[in-house]
Amino acid sequence: MKKLIYTIFCLFCVFFSNAQKNITIHGKIIDATTSEPVPFANIQISQKAIGVSSNVNGAFTFQLPMKYKNDKLVISCIGYENYEFSINKKTCKGKINIALSTKNYKIKEINIKYIDPLKIIKKAINNITNNFSKQDVYLKAYYREMIKEDDKYINYTDVACTIYYGRYKKHFNEKKSSFKNLFYNKIRATSLPDNFGMPINLCPGKWDYPPSSKDLVKVDAIRSSKNYYTTHIFPMIGGGILPITATDKAKYRFKSMFLHRNNFDKYHYTLAGITNYNNSKVYVIKFEPRKGSVKTYFKGEIYIEKRSFAIVGCDYSLIKQHPKIKLDIFFGSPGVYYSNQSKGIDTLILSDYHVIINYTEVGERWYLSKIYRMMEYNLDFSKYYVFKKIRPALKFTTYEDLLVNDIITNNRVRKFSKESRDSILDCNLISSTNSFHQNYNKAFWDAYNKIQPTHLEDSIRKELEKRKPLELQFSERFKVNDSLKPPVAKKQYYVDTIHNEIRVDHYKWLHNLTNPDVMKYIENEYNYSNNYLQKHFNLQSKLFNEISDRNFNSEDTSETQDVDTLATQKKYIYYTEKRKDKKYPLLYRKNNETLKKQLLIDFNKMQISASFFYIEDFVVSPDNKFLVYSKFIPGKINSDAFLYDINDCNIVDTLFDVSSIVWSSINNIFYYCTDSLNHHTVFEYKVNNNYNKQKKIILTTKDSNTVFELMKSNSKKYIYIYKSKENANGYYYRLSDLSDNGFRLLSPIKNNVRYNIQHKNKLFYIYTNEGATNGKIMYTNIDKPSKKNWKTFVPHDNKILICENHFFKNYYVIVEKQNMQNRIKVISLKEKNIQYYIPFDKEEIYSVHFSYSQDYNSNILKLTYSSYVTPNIEYEFNLDTKELKKIKQLTINNYKPERYEVKRIWTTSVDSVKIPITLFYKKRCLKKNAKTPMLLYAYGCYGMGEEPSFNSDLFSLLDRGVVYAVAHVRGGNELGNMWHKNAIKEKKKNSFNDFITCAEYLISEKYTVPQYLSAYGSSAGGLIMGVVANKRPEFFNSIILIVSEVDLLSDLLDSTTYSSTGNWREFGNPYQKKYYNYIKSYSPYDNIKKQPYPNMLFIFGLQDPKVKYWESAKTVAKLREYYSGESTILMRPIFNASHNLGFDDVTHNWNSAFIYNFVLSNFYINK
């Protein structure tokens, strides 16, 4: 029989004992006939599950407790007779050589033609519960993983662990037994990769995956090398240790594999012979795909004991000529991409796969003994990858070994206690064994059993030790490098001339991501921030776990995670369903009469290189034959849209850079907008027979300041084209049935005038700000749309801001804002004198808004309510009966709202304007005349007011005594639209002065002191942070800047950035000298000077199309050049993130924990 030889390296065979004295046995196992070494033979104490394995040279070292000195050792290996000897003093002296005799049975000893190998396999499956453990057990095990990038080893990890391993079942139910989706599993901070921003997950996808949701792995000790990957991409074997156990073919028989009953007719099984294992006859069954069968990729051998029909081993690998196997890239495209380009598709291909599994018999039961797995992947980058010419592809090879050296089967087997929680290696796609955070325990590993390394292992060690010895790498893996200095970016002279002024920018070179030095600098900054994180990892771990625990629903056993209704028609409801066993959503429609559910598109079967996406635009033809959908994918401003034939299940056409879509009332005509950097167009699209396509341009412009958007009236009778230009807009309209003469402009576009329209019967209702800063509602007859015919429906009130408005068949509903508080006003359209407000008397400070998917013909208004204290509540309000019905509320674990309270105070800015400040805190933590730690937040831009909405992350600050304060500076709309207008263009400095005033007030009124005051802003709020850092750094202990507009002048001057010209209406056009000078006077990057700065943290997404990475990178580089003092300045790039810094919960929770960690550690709050 062919010997089972591992292709790359052997296990360090291990056994650890707490006994004070051990017996050590050294030896070598050889073939008695050929004298060749016998690799991977089992060396085991007789009738016990304690043992080790020989290496590729046949050598072994077995260190066993003294209490077994009178026992016997049994050597066994498939294809050989057992060898048994007593443990005594002679055995323990020197090195013993053991020769195993082969034992194969000639084929003529049995009547092979009457033996059906498939019947043997089926009988083996039927006998699973008779042969394997019926109870949960502990497996004391050793695990090793190694990863190669191209042909060089880049990391190495050893783990001594205990596996809580569930019982074997005759009928394996893949859905019930396995994890639904590893991406949704709970994960602790210790299991996360330390290079969290740029991982590429290497896992076999649908094969041998995922493992049982019942099993757990506890790390007893771990040692791991440094990571020596040569690119910004960090490869990792996703899921930790547990996924390798899913190759246990006696326990897991996945639908995609060769031992599942659905695949028996797809494989050809052959009885190749009978051999020996553990003194028993063993069937050797070979298998390979049948000719013509599809989705059958494996060949190999299965070993089944003749006496009991127990599966005792398996060896399988991919067939040589297998089809190309494309796998999900779970974290999105890991590459870095050119600006303003579609990200394209990175392709991860599984090119080789090999697994060897052995079992051992203890008593009358068989248990998992050892597993070896090798996987090879090729990562092909898309054409938009910035280093495509230098590095078009990468090859990764992973090697894993699991050796079980003790099995505990007694009644003490229980799930691990809560005290062991930080030692659990979670099974989540983001889990990384190599990064598992546990300090190196040299004493443990010195007492752990080791064998002499083979020559091949010596070469691997040399490769990994080119920079440092492995022992030193182990000890330094999670140590803080106190000697690590902040990165220093080189200076390159770059000069630009504008308005006859020379502008020198020494860090302009950082704009060019194709320059390898740029990525090298960014990686150095990332590593520097990682070193800081290591210093405060205990706090980071606590914060991450707290934030995750609040939102994790352990009782949710449903397959469906989320349902999103996309369209409702007379015959069908169209919706997406996000399921826990799927990465991407499924698109369904349901018949309103029969309630029959029909799957239209499974996006998991499409090639989508993104960590996350959702359906952004969705329209259906009136006859339900066609639909058009667009997908939102992180890193892109606009989406690609797809015309889909529902009956043929076929994508008819792809439309690029689509911003909005509307289908007319005609079955084959729809409209869509394209929106690229300097080109905006509205098309009419006609689908004819045989998919003949006719496109007609309705409106187009190359003016980068002009934007088009399509929408449909609530009544569905009209199609609108919204045209926006700087600070004005207009509406084109036409009947949805296209029975008129085309689109008409409702009213000429006028500077500083904005409006929107809604349709009701024979009237247009128009919201406008003309002569009404806070808005008013007008109406006019559709036949007489001229502005002179407009009449007032809801008059302007300079104290009340109209935020939202919506028509129902019999009601008109408005969201108003007065004195910073939202309220819902209902107006009857039948009886105008009937007007009322929906009462919400629970709290003084709260937020309430319309929910999505309002029905024009209904009398039910859907609302969303929340506050700083109250988690989101979904309400339905009956407009006829005035009944307010609570539908559902967000559940937060271990949350007690009565512990917290909110307070609003006011201060006066430098121009005598009163500025509100909202304080949110744990009761009894807001004290004057005390060093109260405080985090002061602001946004103040684009007319977006800061709502008092619920954020469960904040309680990790509040519970540590930190007060969360919001400075409602001018630039938002908290106190009406004038609040916004008074902080744009030449008045923008009001936002900065307001924030400084708030900080000064909190200090002067002794709410806090500068040593305990931190500031926080994101995006446009980060602009405020950059300005105040330059102007009043002495006020703040630390400043947090997230995806921040800190090089505002460069951004507004750069026509290649998507948002530059769009931001002119907010900040002014810098190509006009007056705005250039004004912006330059406060733009943070341009005003950095030699002075002490507070501690500062910059976080940004490298793929952000809105605020470019170089704004933060350049600012940090310049700060390092200019600042004095001992403050900490960190730059934290997230390599595969866009403006939202990631959409999955784990990324969000980690970023929040990192921000709070930075704030608290600088307050010296470390618990």
Shared domain for 84 and 184, answered yes or no, is no
Q: For residues 785 and 448, what is the distance between their CA atoms, to the nearest angstrom?
A: 86
Label residue 845 by pLDDT band (50, 70, 90). very high
Q: Supply the pLDDT for residue 107.
A: 55
Q: Is the pLDDT of residue 802 over 70?
A: yes
Shared domain for 193 and 236, answered yes or no, is yes
Q: Supply the pLDDT for residue 557.
A: 43
Q: For residues 854 and 848, what is the distance between their CA atoms, to the nearest angstrom?
A: 15
C-alpha angle 69/160/30, rounded to 5°? 55
Strand pairing partners for 395? 378
Q: Supply the pLDDT for residue 493.
A: 94
pTM reported for the whole predicted model: 0.87
**The CATH number of the domain where 59 resides is what?**
2.60.40.1120
Q: Supply the pLDDT for residue 1099.
A: 96
Provide φ and ψ at 840, rounded to 5°.
Answer: -130, 95
Pick the more confident residue, 457 or 1113: 1113
Range of the domain at 347: 107-476
Q: Supply the pLDDT for residue 197.
A: 53
Q: Supply the pLDDT for residue 8.
A: 31
Label residue 346 by pLDDT band (50, 70, 90). low
Q: Supply the pLDDT for residue 277.
A: 86
Tell me the pLDDT tens digit for each residue of 648-687: 888 889 888 898 999 999 999 999 999 876 788 999 999 9
Q: For residues 212 and 167, what is the distance between their CA atoms, to the nearest angstrom?
A: 10
Residue 77 belongs to a domain: yes
Shared domain for 932 and 954, answered yes or no, is yes
Average pLDDT over residues 921-941: 93
Kindly give the pairing relationship between strand 572-579 and strand 137-149. unpaired
Sheet (strand 83-86) strand order = 51-53, 42-45, 72-76, 83-86
- Residue among 340, 657, 578 nearest 1143 (CA): 578
998, containing H or E segment: helix 989-1004
Q: Is the pLDDT of residue 158 over 70?
A: yes
Q: Supply the pLDDT for residue 244.
A: 93
Shared domain for 569 and 682, answered yes or no, is yes
Inter-CA distances, 608 with 113, 344, 367, 614, 1141, Å = 50, 9, 40, 12, 19
Label residue 529 by pLDDT band (50, 70, 90). very high
Tokens of 387: 């280093």
Give yes or no for a contact between 991 and 940, defined as CB atoms under 8 angstroms apart.
yes
Tell me the pLDDT tens digit for each residue of 394-453: 899 999 999 888 899 887 788 888 777 888 888 877 788 988 999 999 888 877 755 445
Tell me the pLDDT tens digit for each residue of 583-598: 678 889 999 889 899 9
Q: For residues 176 and 490, what is the distance between their CA atoms, to the nearest angstrom?
A: 57
Tell me the pLDDT tens digit for each residue of 1034-1075: 999 999 999 999 999 999 998 777 666 678 889 999 999 999
Of 589-593, 775-779, 917-921, the poorest mean pLDDT is in 589-593
Shared domain for 406 and 526, answered yes or no, is no
Q: Supply the pLDDT for residue 9.
A: 33
Q: For residues 71 and 68, what is the distance between their CA atoms, to the nearest angstrom?
A: 5
Pick the more confident residue, 106 or 955: 955
Contacts of 1107 (CB under 8 A, 6+ apart): 1019, 1043, 1044, 1045, 1051, 1059, 1100, 1139
- Residue among 342, 376, 877, 927 nearest 638 (CA): 342
Can you say whether residue 391 is alpha, beta or left, with left for phi > 0 and alpha for psi between -120 and 50 degrees? beta
Q: Supply the pLDDT for residue 484.
A: 93
Mutual orientation of helices 516-535 and 537-551 as an angle, nearest 10°? 90
- Residue among 1055, 1121, 1049, 1127 nearest 1085 (CA): 1049
Tell me the pLDDT tens digit for each residue of 972-991: 999 999 999 999 999 999 99
Average pLDDT over residues 260-286: 90
Tell me the pLDDT tens digit for each residue of 91-136: 666 678 899 988 776 655 555 556 889 999 999 999 999 999 999 9
Residue 178 belongs to a domain: yes
Tell me the pLDDT tens digit for each residue of 206-255: 677 778 888 999 999 999 998 888 877 788 888 889 989 999 999 988 87
Q: Supply the pLDDT for residue 161.
A: 92
**Mean pLDDT taken over the chain:** 86
Shared domain for 203 and 311, answered yes or no, is yes
Instruction: Single out the residue in 73, 105, 137 at which a domain terminates.
Output: 105
Label residue 90 by pLDDT band (50, 70, 90). low
Tell me the pLDDT tens digit for each residue of 870-913: 999 999 999 999 999 999 999 898 899 999 999 999 999 999 99
**The CATH number of the domain where 688 resides is what?**
2.130.10.120
Shared domain for 471 and 591, answered yes or no, is no
- 3-class DSSP assignment, residue 1006: coil
Pick the more confident residue, 636 or 1135: 1135
- DSSP conformational letter for 452: P
Strand pairing partners for 629? 618, 642
C-alpha angle 158/162/164, rounded to 5°? 135
Tell me how far apart the terminal alpha carbons of the chain are, to the nearest angstrom: 61
Average pLDDT over residues 626-637: 74
Inter-CA distances, 634 with 487, 743, 786, Å = 29, 34, 42
Q: For residues 70 and 68, what is the distance between their CA atoms, to the nearest angstrom?
A: 6
Q: Is the pLDDT of residue 333 over 50?
A: no
Tell me how many domains the chain contains.
Answer: 4
Residue 1060 belongs to a domain: no
What Rg value do the Cα atoms of the chain yield, rounded?
34
Instruction: Single out the residue in 84, 105, 126 at which a domain terminates.
Output: 105
Residue 849 belongs to a domain: no
Q: Supply the pLDDT for residue 15.
A: 35
* DSSP-derived secondary structure for 892-929: -TT--GGGEEEEEEEEE-TTS-EEEEEEEEETT---SS
Shared domain for 332 and 452, answered yes or no, is yes
Shared domain for 223 and 295, answered yes or no, is yes
Average pLDDT over residues 597-621: 76
CA atoms within 13 A on the CB side of 376: 12
Pick the more confident residue, 773 or 23: 773
- 3-class DSSP assignment, residue 938: coil
Q: 415, exposed or middle or buried, with CB in 10 Å at 0-12, 13-18, 19+?
A: exposed
Q: Supply the pLDDT for residue 128.
A: 94
Q: Supply the pLDDT for residue 992.
A: 98
Q: For residues 17 and 186, what is the distance between their CA atoms, to the nearest angstrom?
A: 32
Q: Is the pLDDT of residue 341 over 70?
A: no
Contacts of 725 (CB under 8 A, 6+ apart): 703, 705, 706, 707, 749
Shared domain for 260 and 183, answered yes or no, is yes
Instruction: Single out the residue in 700, 719, 745 at which a domain terminates.
Output: 745
Shared domain for 66 and 172, answered yes or no, is no
Shared domain for 350 and 213, answered yes or no, is yes
Residue 1085 belongs to a domain: no
Label residue 20 by pLDDT band (50, 70, 90). very low
Residue 531 belongs to a domain: yes
Residue 13 belongs to a domain: no
Q: Supply the pLDDT for residue 157.
A: 92
Pick the more confident residue, 938 or 339: 938
Residue 1151 belongs to a domain: yes
**The CATH number of the domain where 984 resides is what?**
3.40.50.1820
Give yes or no for a contact between 663 and 623, defined as CB atoms under 8 angstroms apart.
no
